[in-house]
């Protein structure tokens, strides 16, 4: 199968959905003529024209708010927020409007919109350009929150997100854009929202991962296989709504759980997964779940400090080793 | 140095000019009736709160009736409107049935939002082209820009109409939303109801610069200022502004000077307002102002007025009665309102 980079796969998803449906429009900072600072929207202006691909001012509240308004009128806007950090400026629109509009209107409206953003942890961008906080949105029912970990999933999930009638926050790992290539089918396919994916079968320990840590978990599983430990890797892909069944099913088989994600440990995605498993499958656990996260600190700039701050395959492998000892 | 700000000030329309605006007697009486409906509805709502029959936050539209009625008459019924947490008047002026509005205030399933939204979102009625009523000051402005973007993209001749108060002028959403609408020449009419108070604080004490209108003008919007307590002046201004927008001239902005008759919310006595100021504004409150003009023009008399009042009383009595006895939404139904399934 041909291989595409993460960014190329996303670009293809946008291109295909825009060809398929003229209600799909794109706007964000530098997405049109520059093709996106990370080239995810490259060539879209040329193909679809300035009415469908728009450069916005540096106004995140207006970007997300305009997506809300356009979606209320039946368009399928895909708004890009350049860095996840900048999303905080548009949070009122995302959390208090997009996520609530359907509910508080008694089900009258729907908002088929996608807000794409990327987090740059691993690219030495410092405290204000590296944040990863998707777990905040676990407190915002009404939003779907999607985090692809491979180029194939990135394409299939983004296509599904665009076709979904609910507001979707689509969080990409910027460090993977051009550094990760993977097989992407040439024929049309979708990856469903709300479903986890078992990326590797195993019997001894379940490692639940999401976004950038999926690759780290798979690398850890390779290493551990050489050591005689069989690891199952479950990629969450959507954290809201979360595929509880897939996680619980895996834990019932392996009886041991490690959760690895780029959140800081306190209140992160892993915390929710651990709590859910303890609640729903306590009797199947042979040991307490183990979380592998960033420490509860802001992201440091200094390259070696940032590396130490981040979850990697070695940290995940160590957690698994402790569990099976 | 010359100030280049261009703000069009629309003067109060004399009774003798009503005909020129194409406003026949039926329309004029209809406008007064709509204003009275809002006035009596809100007075009843206030009473229901003070009696303890209604609870929660509620922001009355008393004193601003001319703005909602004048604007709604000037725009088209299919123009999407963005309302606010002070939205009872917007809903009623748009023709949302009073019984649906009242049921929502009671939190009943027969309400516009099935009782899930409450007073602050009661105006949301897709059927009446009000797809959003926001309870966050200023937030409707970027949303209105997005609605305008969709209308422009689809090549429609409808325009988005966004209501907000003076407090919104100090938010980031105001700056971002107006700039986006102007930069992209979106078909949006922004209506600022300057009722002089941002919650409990006089706008003048937290606002520097010439005026709210001047800010809008600086962002490049076609900008108007007018007296918001005179319904025909409101109508005329909104008509000119909406024609500018509909004609492809880009977004327009109107600052209407008006005045809250009561506090910010239903429990606020507005003790912080100077007595003289209140008295001055009460001399120019919209309903007595318009009634006396219509009487002077011979459009209406006391008999007709009584007839209207009786009709309205009946409508409101029925709305309250129905709302009181109608059922709540079963809790389980809430789970069906979070996501669109499938």
Class of domain A2-184: alpha beta
Mean pLDDT along residues A73-81: 98
Which chain A residue's Cα is nearest to B179? A57
A197-324: CATH number: 3.40.50.920
Q: How far is the C-alpha of A34 from the C-alpha of A40, rounded, in Å?
A: 10
Q: What is the DSSP letter of A83?
A: S
Partners of residue B154 in chain A, C-beta under 8 Å: 73
**Least Cα separation, residue B326 to chain A (angstroms):** 16
B113 touches chain A (CB under 8 A): yes
- Predicted pLDDT at A325: 87
CA-CA distance, B342 to B330, in Å (whole number)? 22
A51/B112 CB distance under 8 A? no
Nearest residue, CB atoms, B113 vs list A54, A69, A104: A104
For the beta sheet containing A24-28, the strands, ordered from the edge strand earlier in sequence to the opposite edge, are A53-55, A24-28, A76-81, A114-119, A168-173, A144-146, A238-240
8 Å CB contact between B142 and A61: yes
Q: What is the domain extent for residue B218?
A: 7-336
| Res B17: pLDDT | 93
Tally of domains in chain B = 1
Cβ separation of B340 and A142 shorter than 8 Å?
no
The residue ranges of every structural domain in chain A are 2-184, 197-324
Fold agreement (A2-184, A197-324): yes
Query: Tokens 């997005």 appear where?
Result: B146
Asked if the structure places residue B286 within a domain, the reply is yes
Number of neighbours of residue B182 by Cβ within 10 angstroms? 20
Task: Look at residue B2 and tell me if it is in a domain.
Answer: no
The CA distances from residue A81 to A78, A158, B198, B204, B208, in Å, are 10, 15, 31, 35, 32
Does a structural domain hold residue B192? yes
Which residues of chain A approach chain B closer than 8 Å at the C-beta?
25, 51-52, 54, 56-57, 59-62, 64-75, 77, 89, 92-93, 96-97, 101-110, 141-142, 144, 164-166, 241
Q: Does B342 reside within a domain?
A: no
Token look-up 């530098």 returns A30
pLDDT in tens, A122-170: 999 999 999 999 999 999 999 999 999 999 999 999 999 999 999 999 9
Residue A57 with chain B: CB contacts under 8 Å: 176, 179-180, 183
* B341 occurs within a structural domain: no
CB A250 within 8 A of CB A196: no
Of A32, A139, A21, give the one whose Cα is nearest residue A80: A32
pLDDT digit string (tens) for A194-229?
Answer: 999 999 999 999 999 999 999 999 999 999 999 999
According to the model, what pLDDT value does residue B5 have?
64
Does B136 lie at the interface with A, CB-CB under 8 angstroms? Answer: yes
Closest by CA position to A105, among listed B87, B221, B93, B49: B87
Q: Which residues of chain A does B150 touch, with a Cβ-Cβ cutoff of 8 Å?
A: 69-70, 72-75
Is there a contact between A109 and B147 if contact means CB atoms under 8 Å apart? no
Residue A325, min C-alpha distance to chain B (Å)? 44
A/B interface, count of CB pairs below 8 Å = 153
The candidate with the shortest Cα–Cα distance to B74, out of B235, B191, B232, is: B235
Whether B119 has its CB under 8 Å from any CB of chain A: the answer is no
Cβ atoms of B251 and B221 within 8 Å: the answer is yes
Record: contact B143-A92, CB cut-off 8 A: no
Q: Contacts of residue A164 in chain B, CB cutoff 8 Å?
A: 340
State residue B1's pLDDT score: 45
The residues of A that are catalytic are 129
Q: What is the mean pLDDT of chain A?
A: 98
CB contact, 8 Å: B161 with chain A?
A: no
Q: Three-class SS of residue B110?
A: coil
Q: Tens of pLDDT along A251-307?
A: 999 999 999 999 999 999 999 999 999 999 999 999 999 999 999 999 999 999 999
Q: Where are the beta strands (DSSP E) in A222-314?
A: 231-235, 238-240, 257-264, 290-294
> Residue-wise pLDDT tens for chain B (342 aa)?
445 569 999 999 999 999 999 999 999 999 999 999 999 999 999 999 999 999 999 999 999 999 999 999 999 999 999 999 999 999 999 999 999 999 999 999 999 999 999 999 999 999 999 999 999 999 999 999 999 999 999 999 999 999 999 999 999 999 999 999 999 999 999 999 999 999 999 999 999 999 999 999 999 999 999 999 999 999 999 999 999 999 999 999 999 999 999 999 988 999 999 999 999 999 999 999 999 999 999 999 999 999 999 999 999 999 999 999 999 999 999 999 999 987
How would you classify the pairing of strands A257-264 and A290-294?
A: parallel
For residue B286, the SS3 value is helix
**Tokens 């008047």 -> residue:** B89
Taking CB atoms and an 8 Å cutoff, what residues of chain A touch B184?
Answer: 54
Kindly provide the ipTM of the predicted complex, given to two decimals.
Answer: 0.97
**CATH code of residue B178:** 3.40.50.970
CA-nearest of B221, B233, B239, B287 to B257 is B233
H-only helix segments in chain B = 25-50, 65-74, 88-94, 98-105, 140-153, 172-183, 212-218, 231-246, 275-282, 286-296, 302-325
């Amino acid at each position: 199968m041909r291989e595409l980079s993460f960014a190329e796969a996303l670009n293809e998803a946008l291109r295909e959905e825009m060809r398929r449906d003229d209600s799909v429009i794109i706007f964000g900072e530098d997405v049109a003529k520059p093709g996106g600072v990370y080239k995810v929207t490259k060539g879209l202006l040329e193909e679809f024209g300035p009415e469908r691909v728009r450069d916005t001012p540096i106004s995140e509240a207006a970007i997300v708010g305009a997506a809300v308004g356009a979606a209320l009128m039946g368009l399928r806007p895909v708004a890009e927020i350049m860095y996840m950090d900048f999303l905080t400026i548009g949070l009122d629109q995302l959390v208090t409007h997009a996520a609530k509009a359907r509910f508080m209107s008694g089900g009258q409206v729907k908002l088929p919109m996608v807000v794409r953003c990327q987090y740059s942890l691993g690219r030495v961008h410092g405290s204000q350009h590296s944040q990863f906080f998707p777990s905040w949105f676990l407190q915002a029912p009404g939003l779907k929150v999607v985090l692809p970990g491979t180029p194939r999933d990135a394409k299939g999930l983004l296509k599904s997100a665009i076709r979904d009638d609910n507001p979707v926050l689509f969080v990409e790992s910027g460090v993977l854009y051009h550094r990760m290539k993977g097989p992407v089918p040439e024929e049309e396919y979708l990856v469903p929202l709300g479903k986890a994916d078992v990326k590797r079968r195993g019997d001894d320990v379940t490692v639940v991962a999401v976004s950038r840590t999926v690759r780290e978990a798979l690398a850890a599983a390779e290493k551990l296989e050489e050591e005689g430990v069989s690891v199952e890797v479950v990629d969450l892909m959507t954290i809201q709504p979360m595929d509880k069944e897939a996680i619980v099913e895996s834990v019932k088989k392996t009886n041991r759980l490690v959760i690895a994600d780029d959140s800081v440990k306190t209140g992160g995605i892993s915390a929710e997964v651990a709590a859910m498993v303890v609640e729903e499958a306590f009797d199947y656990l042979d040991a307490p779940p183990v979380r592998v996260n960033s420490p509860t600190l802001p992201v440091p700039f200094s390259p070696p400090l940032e590396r130490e701050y981040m979850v990697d395959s070695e940290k995940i492998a160590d957690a698994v080793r402790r569990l099976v000892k | 140095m010359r100030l280049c700000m261009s703000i069009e000030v629309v003067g109060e329309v004399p009774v003798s000019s009503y005909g020129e605006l194409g406003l026949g007697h039926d329309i004029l009486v209809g406008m007064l009736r709509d204003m009275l409906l809002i006035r009596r509805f809100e007075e009843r709502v206030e009473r229901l709160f003070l009696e303890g029959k209604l609870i929660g936050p509620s922001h009355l539209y008393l004193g601003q009736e001319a703005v909602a009625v004048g604007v709604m008459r000037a725009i088209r019924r299919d123009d999407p409107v963005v309302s606010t947490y002070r939205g009872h008047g917007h809903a009623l002026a748009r023709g949302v049935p009073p019984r649906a509005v009242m049921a929502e205030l009671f939190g009943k399933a027969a309400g516009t939002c099935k009782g899930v939204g409450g007073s602050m979102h009661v105006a949301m009625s897709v059927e009446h082209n009000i797809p959003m009523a926001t309870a966050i000051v200023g937030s409707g402005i970027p949303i209105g820009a997005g609605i305008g973007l969709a209308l422009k993209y689809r090549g429609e001749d409808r325009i988005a109409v966004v209501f907000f108060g003076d407090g919104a002028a100090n938010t980031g959403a105001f700056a971002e939303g107006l700039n986006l609408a102007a930069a992209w020449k979106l078909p949006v009419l922004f209506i600022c109801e300057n009722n002089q108070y941002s919650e409990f604080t006089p706008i003048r004490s937290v606002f520097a610069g010439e005026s709210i209108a001047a800010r809008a003008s600086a962002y490049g919007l076609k900008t108007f200022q007018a007296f918001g307590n005179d319904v025909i002046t409101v109508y005329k201004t909104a008509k000119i502004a909406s024609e500018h927008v509909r004609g492809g001239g880009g977004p327009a902005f109107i600052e209407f000077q008006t005045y809250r008759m009561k506090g910010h919310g239903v429990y606020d006595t507005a003790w912080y307002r100077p007595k003289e100021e209140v008295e001055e504004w009460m001399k120019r409150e919209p309903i007595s102002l318009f009634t006396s003009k219509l009487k002077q023009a011979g459009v209406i008399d006391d008999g007709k007025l009584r007839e209207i009042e009786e009709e309205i009383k009946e409508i409101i009595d029925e709305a309250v009665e129905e709302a009181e006895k109608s059922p709540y939404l079963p809790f389980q139904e809430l789970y069906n309102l979070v996501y669109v399934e499938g």
